[in-house]
Amino acid sequence: MPEPDQATLARREEIVAALCLIVPGEGVIDHPDGLRPYESDGLTAYRQPPMVVVLPETTAQVSAVLAWCHANKVKVVPRGSGTSLSGGALPLADGVLLGLSKFNRVLEIDYDDRIVVVQPGVTNLAITNAVEERGFYYAPDPSSQIACSIGGNVAENSGGVHCLKYGLTTNNVLGCEIVLMDGEVIRIGGRQLDPAGLDLLGVVVGSEGLLGVVTEVTVRILPKPETARALLIGFATVEGAGQCVADTIAAGIIPAGMEMMDRPAIHAAEAFVQVGYPLDVEALLIVELDGVEAECAHLLGEVERIAFANGAVSVRISTSEEERIAFWAGRKAAFPAVGRLAPDYYCMDGTIPRRRLPQVLERMEQLSAQYGLGVANVFHAGDGNLHPLILYDANVPGELERAEAFGNDILRLCVQVGGVLTGEHGVGVEKRDLMPEMFTETDLKQQQRVKCAFDPELLLNPGKMFPQLHRCAELGRMHVHRGQVAFPDLPRF
């Protein structure tokens, strides 16, 4: 990498000095060794050390950092725990990385209203940990929940195995405090579902750190169900498993979780956690049912019946809480387990209509042969959300490029069969250039107008999500006619 010139060095010094005044003590990192841990997120194929890292502790500091950067036209990338799989938190060489890891406190628990107010750096699992002794939990459960932050979950609208029944982050977040790029602090949403005004919360959840920095989150918590039991169902064909999913949902049963793994994923997971997954099947379904005891028992029987009607070759029903957790252990550890099959893997995330699964898996096998790279599949079957894990070795010249081309073909395939580019991992840098496969130029411009309304200088997390960023002025200005009476014909009181 070429040495930075004098002007760049002077600019960096100026920025570091300003940040040190706003966040004194150990809140600013600019030594190359200190920057190294921040150079990538979960999409490790991309690496770029930031110019400087700032770790504020208060909303006032976040506001002052953003206001200074805004006034001095410095780009900012927000970062939670850095587990994004789409490169959403990838730093910029000429930008400030704003880490939220010091925002790690649970601020309020209100069991009567069933809400918890947290700072954005609190991990997803820590919310459940804070309320479980009273029998409550926070429903969205990404596999990364031990590490990922709730601020990152809000930015990515993260999901998990229990989102089929209980919704994604967007269905479980009630309100946020957000700092805009110019330093202004706003509150959106509230403490109840559907507050008054435009649904800006719906706009911000899933906006991948492009609209503002989330500094406080209010989530709803749910009482733990009386019973939860899981079935482990083996199928000789993927088609049988896919049809079982479709028939279960068509029967009006919404399981708490419904996950599918293909043969390579089953074998990798079993070797990793040894929980007794059947190894002589082509597809494995894990189906969880929860609720009151009698309802659960009835639905277990129904799902078992539907499974056998679709050619299930083995069914196990958990008989204890330990066994239920063991059934899930392999699925939850599927990513690290697959990591043992090859030096590197590239985790894709696309969504398809459930009925298209056999067709998509068949095509994926052909692509696997075409690119000469293996693939293992774990799948949020109930939601149609695919996670193909492409196996490659970054040390073999050309394999990363082939893995990316293979991944792009899978995502195109998802769109072609009527699905979407991402289920829960976001667009980031990874899928940015595929956005036109899904959206027209007009669609994309309209989305960018929203970005411009929040961040007209395009300083917050630029380079993510949009394949091309138009200057906001090019998209047309909003005309404000000050002093004009809005509705001259309406009677006044």
Least CB distance to ligand FAD at residue 230 (A): 17
Alpha-carbon separation of residue 34 from 39, 65, 91, 100, 379 (angstroms): 10, 20, 14, 16, 37
CB of 11 to ligand FAD, least distance (A): 23
Q: What's the full length of the chain, in residues?
A: 493
DSSP alpha helices (H): ranges in 230-262? 238-250
CB 78 within 8 A of CB 213: yes
Q: Residue 361 — left, alpha, or beta (φ > 0 → left; ψ -120 to 50 → alpha)? A: alpha
CB of 209 to ligand FAD, least distance (A): 3
**Residues 61, 64, 67, 69, CA torsion sign:** negative
Q: Shortest Cβ distance from residue 44 to ligand FAD (Å)? A: 9
Dump the DSSP string for 254-266: --SEEEEEEHHHH
Q: Which residue, among 164, 482, 186, has the nearest Cα to 351 in the 3D structure? A: 164
For the CB of residue 158, give the shortest distance to ligand FAD in the complex, in Å.
3
CB-nearer residue toward ligand FAD: 145 or 310: 145
The smaller minimum CB distance to ligand FAD, of residues 43 and 299, is found at 43
Nearer to ligand FAD, 209 or 407 (CB): 209
Residue 488 C-beta: closest distance to ligand FAD, Å: 41
Which is nearest to 109 in space by CA: 90, 128, 95, 123?
Answer: 128
Residue nearest to ligand FAD (CB): 152
The nearer residue to ligand FAD, 425 or 431, going by C-beta atoms, is 425
Which whole-number Å values give the CA distances from 491 to 482, 483, 487, in the listed order?
A: 21, 18, 9
Residue 298: CB minimum distance to ligand FAD, A: 29
Q: Based on CB atoms, which residue is closest to ligand FAD, 290 or 424?
A: 424
- Shorter beta-carbon distance to ligand FAD: residue 217 or 296: 217
Closest CB 235 distance from ligand FAD, rounded Å: 23
Q: Which is nearer to ligand FAD, 148 or 284 (CB)?
A: 148
3-class secondary structure, 139: coil
State the minimum distance, in angstroms, from the CB of residue 56 to ligand FAD.
11
Going 428 to 429 to 432 to 434, the CA torsion angle's sign is negative
Contact present, 140 and 217 (Cβ < 8 Å): no
Sign of the torsion angle spanned by Cα atoms 149, 150, 154, 156: positive
Return the number of the residue (120 or 419) whose C-beta is nearest ligand FAD. Answer: 120
Half-sphere exposure of 416 (CA within 13 A, CB side): 10
The angle formed by the CA atoms of residues 266, 267 and 268, to the nearest 5 degrees, is: 95
The DSSP string of 195-212 is -SS--HHHHHTTSTTSS-
In the complex, what is the shortest distance from the CB of residue 69 to ligand FAD, in angstroms, rounded to a whole number? 14
Least distance to ligand FAD, CB of residue 234, Å: 23
Binding site for ligand FAD (CB under 6 A): 41-42, 77-85, 88-89, 100, 120, 142-144, 148-149, 151-153, 155-156, 158-160, 208-209, 213-214, 335, 424-425, 461
Shortest spacing between CB 103 and ligand FAD, in angstroms: 7
Residues 6+ apart with CB under 8 A from 478: 453
Which pairs from 409-412 meet CB under 8 Å and 24+ separation? 409/367, 410/348, 410/350, 410/364, 410/367, 410/386, 411/348, 411/350, 411/437, 412/437
Closer of 209 and 255 to ligand FAD (Cβ): 209
Q: One-letter amino acid identity for 128?
A: T
Comparing CB distances to ligand FAD, the nearer of 208 and 239 is 208
**Closer CB to ligand FAD, residue 151 or residue 264?**
151
CB of 191 to ligand FAD, least distance (A): 20
Residue nearer to ligand FAD on the CB measure, 84 or 243? 84
Smaller CB distance to ligand FAD: residue 100 or 296?
A: 100
Residues 6+ apart with CB under 8 A from 300: 229, 231, 289, 317
Compute the chain's Rg from CA coordinates.
Answer: 24
Angle, alpha carbons 88-89-91 (nearest 5°): 120
- 164, 256 Cβ separation under 8 angstroms: yes
DSSP structure string for 439-465: S-HHHHHHHHHHHHHH-TT--BSTTSS
